[in-house]
Structure 1
Amino acid sequence: MPYHVAALSIPERVLLTGDPDRATFFAESLLRQPELLSRSRGFMVYRGLFEDVPVGIASHGIGGPSALIVAEELNMIGARKLVRVGTAGSLTPDLRVGDIIVAKGAGLSCGGGGLSLYYPPGVCPVPSPDPELTLALLSKAASEGPSPRLALVFSSDSFYAEDESFSGRLRSLGFSAVEMECGPLLSLANLRGLRASCILVISNVVGHAESPPNQGVLREALLKAAKVALKALVSLKP
């Protein structure tokens, strides 16, 4: 049994999300016969059926190091296909709260995100999503409503360090949104021979002082993204 995720097995298709309460919400809303496998260290791990296919749902916490621990341990017990469903801050005015994006790639600092010991000196991570899984996300999302945007995201290590100067530099490099876990998870998937992709809901506009986002809008968008993720996962051949 892994050290942090106290479960012996997990279906090969797993939806990952940061917030443990969100993992519970997804499992109770979308799975048939949901079963809580583990809540060790606050990482909620469920299994159940979606469209009669066994799937898992797990929370990975905040930031690259935490997400990597969970992904590594899920891989130890059977996970092979992963989709992160999370939130991101918009870097561009055309992405608004509640919009859904699918990551076409993720940037991160060399050595950042908890990856420094995975690569030899001078070698940077390769945070690219699985093409077939990404296409499945786009296809399933389009069938549920407006097509999501395919976007380049940046995975930051420092939530409170993102000032307007930092955001401007990211925009100039082609990034549309910022979050904290996609880059590490996609890099690990490529290292371990896993298939992974990310679908994200815009929760705020970086650098803009605004009232708190409508939680009902976010909750509805996240549930839609989770449903899309599960549809994409079960559409892949074993």
Structure 2
Amino acid sequence: MTTELLPITRVPRTGLPSHAVVVGDPARAAEVAGLLDDAKEVSHHREYRTFTGTWKGTPLVVSSHGVGGPGAILLFQELADAGVRTILRLGTAGAIRTGILDGDLVIADAAVRDDGVTQQLLPPEYPAFCAPEAVLALRRAAVEAGAPYHRGVVWTRAAFQPGFVTLPAAAYTRAGIAAIEMELSALLVLASTRGLVAGGVLVIDGANADELVDEEATGGYNPHREVVADGVALGSRVALDAVHLLANESTESPETIK
């Protein structure tokens, strides 16, 4: 019997594990999947590339969602339709808060909904928040891995390149926003409306936020550096360990994920 495939991502409607790590780049999905046991590619359509495998005995999905919230939320919706109940985003971001360095991890508590898609789904007052258990699992995994990490609210912004509109970067800096990225709030809103557990861990690939959001400066941005690659490698293991913790938390005491 032919397995039914979902229309946008072409992932199978049934048979996927219930926990997933999602990334932007299809090549990064393959790299993360390369860490798994019994990894198998199950679909690759457009920017959506999906693998299954196991990490420390936990079955999981690794999938790519491309760049930007409007496309990414299509993956999140179809993973949910396929039975995935936990989704952690492993991404890259630009640091805003002082003291967050290239290669560091930012574990999100919540996100500013400037993603370009969820405003068309829900009123802007609806929050984009990470599941507390996801935050705590990521924190525990980062501590156990010895990874430099920070926690805080992140700014999900739809446009990557600066335009002609003055951005509220100064206000967000004063408010203590940790970092800026492009997809997390779309995941968080979708997850909370679908009853999913979701969170995000971001690797800093630019520690000068003024250059990332200032209208006249983008030429210095270079994410293709060893310090970023090292951070992504460490962040990949942190995300996978956190999924393993979440998958097995029902068998642990409440104090073990903290």
Matching of residue 97 in structure 1 with residue 98 in structure 2:
no
Identity, % of aligned positions: 28
Separation in 2 of the partners of 1:36 and 1:18? 16
Matching of residue 161 in structure 1 with residue 162 in structure 2:
yes
Taking structure 1 as reference, are residues 211 and 79 closer, same or farther at Cα in structure 2, changes over 3 Å only?
Answer: closer
User: Could you list the runs of 4 or more consecutive aligned residues of structure 1 that deviate by over 3 angstroms after TM superposition?
Assistant: 162-166, 208-211
Q: Shift in Å at residue 167 of structure 1?
A: 2.0
Paired residues for 1:107-146 under 5 Å: 107-109=112-114, 112-119=115-122, 122=123, 124-146=125-147
SS at match of 1:116: helix
**TM-score normalised by L of structure 2:** 0.84
Paired residues for 1:24-173 under 5 Å: 24-28=30-34, 30-109=35-114, 112-119=115-122, 122=123, 124-161=125-162, 166-173=168-175
SS at match of 1:107: strand
Separation in 2 of the partners of 1:52 and 1:159? 38
SS at match of 1:101: strand
Separation in 2 of the partners of 1:159 and 1:175? 17
Q: Is the 8 A contact 1:126 1:190 kept in 2?
A: no
Q: Shift in Å at residue 66 of structure 1?
A: 1.0
CA RMSD of aligned residues (A): 1.9
For structure 1, the residue ranges without an aligned partner over 5 or more in a row are none
Separation in 2 of the partners of 1:76 and 1:169? 38
Kindly provide the CA deviation profile for residues 9-36 of structure 1, in whole angstroms up to 9, marking residues without a partner as x: 32111000011111111111x1011100
Q: Shift in Å at residue 173 of structure 1?
A: 2.5
Matching of residue 229 in structure 1 with residue 239 in structure 2:
yes
Separation in 2 of the partners of 1:10 and 1:146? 30
Aligned residues: 233
Separation in 2 of the partners of 1:146 and 1:211? 23
- Residue 149 of structure 1 aligns with an amino acid whose one-letter code is H
**TM-score normalised by L of structure 1:** 0.91
Pairing partner for 1:176 from 151, 175, 178 = 178
- Residue 125 of structure 2 aligns with an amino acid whose one-letter code is C
